[in-house]
Amino acid sequence: METAQGLRIRGIRQRDLPDILDVDRRITGGSGPSGDRSAASNHFWTYHPPLSFVAELNGRIIGFVIGTIGGAEYSLPDCGWINVVGVDPEYQGQGAGRALVKHFADTCQKKGIRARCLIPRRTGRFEKMLLSLGFKHGELVDFVRDIE
Ligand SMILES: CC(C)(COP(=O)(O)OP(=O)(O)OC[C@H]1O[C@@H](n2cnc3c(N)ncnc32)[C@H](O)[C@@H]1OP(=O)(O)O)[C@@H](O)C(=O)NCCC(=O)NCCS
């Protein structure tokens, strides 16, 4: 896959939040989050800066990954969770999403924690990307009881 030249992944800063919202709006077409993912803004108040990154192309933010630390809620040791990842539709397919998730996972590795991500079953392309970056199906499975 061709990676956009000049792509830079760096740690998130508080002042990046408006630009991240702009990217998020472009992903959803301004119609709010789809059923596939929650809005990036839902994660602004719980994110863990050392595990959250933006992708810049020529100084412009074109993508982001927002992560947090957790595990105890699922009786798991601390691990790095990808809460949400997004790339501006204009720049998708050029390697930014992959570079962001790889950077996230490599950072977890350096911290000695596992990287995790919970996704709905139908996000085929994103799942494929996780698998190709060395993620595998983990220990969690969700249970649901339908409304009768
Ligand atoms: C999912 C998303 C983050 C991927 O970012 P991206 O920059 O487009 O992805 P990349 O260019 O790094 O490509 C990732 C993989 O998808 C594949 N891919 C890229 N464009 C594709 C396309 N149009 N159709 C099918 N596969 C495609 C690439 O070949 C690559 O596969 P590989 O990892 O096996 O090499 C981005 O599409 C996005 O923001 N989608 C909307 C939000 C979303 O669904 N987020 C995920 C859940 S939180």
Which residues contact ligand 1 via a Cβ below 6 A? 1, 27, 36-37, 84-87, 92-98, 119, 123, 125-126, 128-129, 132
Does 24 score more than 90 pLDDT?
yes
Count of other CB atoms within 10 angstroms of residue 96: 26
Region of 101 please: left (phi>0), alpha (psi -120 to 50) or beta. alpha
With a pLDDT cut of 90, the percent of the chain lying above it is: 79
Does 2 score more than 60 pLDDT?
no
- Ligand 1 centroid to 49 CA: how many Å? 23
What would the pLDDT profile of 101-124 be if each residue is shown by its tens digit?
A: 999 999 999 999 999 999 988 778
What would the pLDDT profile of 72-101 be if each residue is shown by its tens digit?
A: 999 999 999 999 999 999 999 999 999 999
Instruction: Identify the residue whose C-alpha is closest to ligand 1 atom 43.
Output: 86
Based on C-alpha coordinates, what's the Rg of the chain? 15
Q: Which domains does the chain have, with CATH numbers?
A: 7-132 (3.40.630.30)
Which run of H or E residues covers position 143? none
Give the residue from 56, 37, 148, 45 showing the smallest Cα distance to 99.
56
- Ligand 1 centroid to 97 CA: how many Å? 6
Question: Which among 47, 129, 131, 135 is the best mutation to test ligand 1's pocket, defined by most ligand atoms within 8 Å of the CB?
Answer: 129
